[in-house]
Amino acid sequence: MMSAPLDYFRPNPLWIILKDSMRSNFLQAPKRSFLEVLVYALRYRCPNCHRGPIFKGRFNQVLIRCPNCGLGYFRESGYFVGGMILTYGLTIAVLIPVYLVTPLVPELAWLSETMKYALWIGFTLLLAVLFVRPAYALWLSVDYWLEPWPASKAK
């Protein structure tokens, strides 16, 4: 018995039934406004349920998943490299204007070049440390806002 050439492209009815039955195993919040995504990201909250924390402790230790809704925070290996790039961009966005304004301050002329370099390095490291958590949270939240993935029910 020969099937029609277009039968190959028709979805298998069994797959449609399985796909619909699996949908109930995932929890996904409705799409929010971008401003709301930014607010919850800067509060370090889960991009799905907005209640669970993203970080554990005071330093940059990202949880594996949301303790409230079960959303996995690591989509793939190296996922937060984008957050590192965002940290770098935010740090540079602050350093360049400060650098351009510094020559206008005559009170800094008495500092030696070595002292100025030490201050710039210290200021850069401080900014990078301060921007890590917001950058990681923004990366996770904006990525989830653009392309949400299912959150399995937390057990």
Q: Is residue 15 part of a domain?
A: no
pLDDT of residue 58: 75
26 exposure class (CB count in 10 Å sphere: 0-12, 13-18, 19+): middle
Q: Is residue 9 part of a domain?
A: no
Q: Is residue 107 part of a domain?
A: yes
pLDDT of residue 18: 47
pLDDT of residue 110: 80
Q: Is residue 102 part of a domain?
A: yes
Kindly provide the residue ranges of all beta strands, DSSP E only, lying in 10-141, ordered along the sequence.
26-27
pLDDT digits (tens, 9 = 90+) for 101-110: 888 877 777 8
| Alpha carbon 86 to its chain's center | 9
Kindly provide the residue ranges of all beta strands, DSSP E only, lying in 36-154, ordered along the sequence.
151-152
Q: Is residue 3 part of a domain?
A: no
Q: Is residue 20 part of a domain?
A: no
d(CA 46, CA 138): 11
Angle value at C-alpha 88, between 48 and 149, nearest 5 degrees: 20
Domain span holding position 62: 30-149
- Count of structural domains within the chain: 1
Q: Is residue 8 part of a domain?
A: no
Q: Is residue 19 part of a domain?
A: no
Tokens of 1: 């018995």
